[in-house]
A and B are shown apart, each in its own frame.
Chain A
Amino acid sequence: MALLDIRNLHATVGETEILKGISLTVNAGEVHAIMGPNGSGKSTLAQVLAGHPAYKVTAGTATLDGEDLLAMEAEVRAHAGVFLAFQYPVEIPGVTNAYFLRIAYNEIRKARGLEELDPIDFIDLLEEKLKIVEWGPEIMERAVNFGFSGGEKKRNEILQMAVLEPKLAILDETDSGLDIDALRIVANGVNQLKSPDKATIVVTHYQRLLDFIVPDYVHVLAGGRIVKSGGKELALELEAKGYEWLTGVPEEAAAR
């Protein structure tokens, strides 16, 4: 059984249809890249899978391990192992990273019928996870994403992913705005978290991230549909030729 199976997915925001029939199968152990010009529906797909309430699915199905993903509330998807690394991580002033992560970790444990971890044991776990994003413990006492630089926010998303160990990680434009050091740290983090029973979907506009996180499959999204799929060499082709040869629309125009 596929880990994630999306069939003919249509979604709207307000009156506008953004996804116009997406089908995609992701198996455990795989890395899929979803590329495409601005406005193609990449981020919408990521948010629809995570359960954003502003998007309405009007047709199609999506299953996680055979379970109806679309019927689940966003938190239930998280309990089931879905994780979205946000393009724009949300600031939560007044709540420390350490506290936030422990609550999230324990809520997911609780939902799975596992025992909660006490604060002391959780600190030990955190110390291990911090290494993945090359951070010291001081970051844990800062409020969640509050006053973080763009790069720190993205790194913090990967730290959350490391702690929550999702079955299906969706990275939404995690590379945008990152300097090369931050990009390397973020990509290394993702690579360390790869395992045969997990899958990753990397949503990106640029090929650059895929130098670091090498995908098994690349899909090009345009106008709310997957217009081409291929291996990792497709990303290089896109880098060289742009998106216009696939979409038939100059990129500037497609963005509108």
Chain B
Amino acid sequence: MTATAAPRTITLPTSKDEEWRFTPLGGLAGLALELGDSPGRLGNADLTPYLFGHPEWPTVVVVDGRVDAAASNFPTLPAGARLLPLSQAIADGDSVMRAHLHRHIGPGATPFTALNTSLSVDGVFLHVPANVTLTMPVHVVHVATSAAAGVTIAPRTLAVIEQGATATLIETFVSLDPQGNYFTDACAELVLGANARLEHIRVQRESAAAHHIGFTQVDQQRDSHYRSFVLQLGGKMARHNLHATLNGPNIETLLYGLYLTSGEQLIDNHTAIFHNEPNCNSWEVYKGVLADSSRAVFNGKVFVLPVAQKTDAKQTNRNLLLSDTAKVDTKPQLEIFADDVKCTHGATVGKLDELQRYYLQTRGIAGQTAQALLIWAFVAEVMMEVTVAAVRDALEATVRERLEQMIA
């Protein structure tokens, strides 16, 4: 099967577009905004390092944007919960899928969600019916192969967590070719019914030459709880938009993020929280460590509608610069139209604390050991927010290894 369709034309945003002011997209010029003819083969590729030591978890392997059923693990899920390739749900005309797909991210939300909508042929559909608890996390592993060189990968994830249901969803983006030059344009629609709970972990480890633009939309109903951890490590240029819309009272939304950049890398995190109803809490902490001449962009919007009284929203973005040539553009953006709310934000860009450094020296700890320890101290605050121990431990090891390379 070839999925090649008529050439797409999208108008790439420029630096004049406020949403893309600090994130140049020139690197996309050399890439075809088209899917490849056919997905690559995993062959003997070993995905073990990415599976958090739990191959028995429900795991969907998506190769170059298409589900590889042979590499995936679809165990029987509890009481009516379903995990299947999105293409299969579409072929089946699944009613839950039809009620939600493209309903949460409108096709025209951004040029790249539009591109995903027009290109995407597969991805993952997770449905957890009311009051069902998934005991194991669901892991979606997006693998880029050399077959994607020069072209676009456009997977789509739809997760519908019904009223009172509980799930954990992990999305991992990796490349088999550390220098692979491709473009991932990913979308995820995450739907939480009343009193539903979802922990969502998104790990971006694309190749050093890759471009990655992702858009995640979370729609929450009353009393629901959404916890997110976004780890961005890879890519030459990587951008993630995480938008949460709070459509009922008494919702909790927790957004944690960590990005590590080096070389000439650019990593961009845009978040938006829409407080549309009263008595909701949102709590956001994003942290970044930048080395060499790398760059990071953070933009965090919080919108509080007039009706959303008693909103409690806190947003923090902290950045640690390890070199004089690294650069951060950070912009918290609160737009509050209600009068009885508690909303705060703070952004910092700094270097390692001299007093902490001295304290360590007086304990015999200096040089790279001290640096690594203090950087770890900085990132640990957000790392600790991953509640799945196996994932937290594995990501901790990955982050430590990356930090060691950055300060070597």
Contact = CB atoms under 8 A, between A and B. Distances in A.
A51 B373 contact: no
A100 B384 CA distance: 17
A164 B363 CA distance: 8
A84 B361 CA distance: 11
B149 interface: no
Interface string A164-202: 100000000000000000000000000000000000000
Given A90-B355, A90-B359, A92-B356, A104 B365 contact: yes
Given A93-B381, A94-B379, A107 B365 contact: yes
Contacts of A83: 362
B374 interface: yes
Given A52-B358, A107-B365, 13 more contacts: A53-B358, A73-B361, A78-B361, A83-B362, A86-B362, A90-B355, A90-B356, A92-B360, A94-B381, A95-B373, A95-B377, A107-B364, A164-B363
A108 interface: yes
A77 B365 CA distance: 11
- Chain B binding surface, main DSSP class: helix
Contact of B362 (A51, A92, A111): A51
A90 B353 CA distance: 10
B380 A93 contact: yes
Interface of A: 50-53, 73-75, 77-79, 82-84, 86, 89-90, 92-95, 100, 103-104, 107-108, 111, 143, 160, 164
B274 interface: no
8 closest A-B pairs (Cβ-Cβ)? A94-B380, A74-B361, A78-B364, A75-B366, A90-B359, A94-B377, A104-B363, A108-B364
Contacts of A90: 355-356, 358-359
Given A75-B366, A94-B378, A103 B373 contact: yes
B366 A73 contact: yes
B363 to A, nearest CB: 4
B376 interface: yes
B369 interface: yes
Contacts of B358: 52-53, 74, 90
A59 B354 CA distance: 25
Contacts of A74: 358, 361-362, 366
A104 B370 CA distance: 10
A57 B93 CA distance: 80
A103 B365 contact: yes
A52 B361 CA distance: 9
A94 B376 contact: yes
A50 B355 CA distance: 13
Contacts of B363: 78, 100, 104, 107, 160, 164
B285 to A, nearest CB: 12
13 contacts: A52-B358, A75-B361, A75-B365, A75-B366, A78-B361, A78-B364, A86-B362, A93-B380, A94-B381, A95-B373, A95-B376, A95-B377, A107-B369
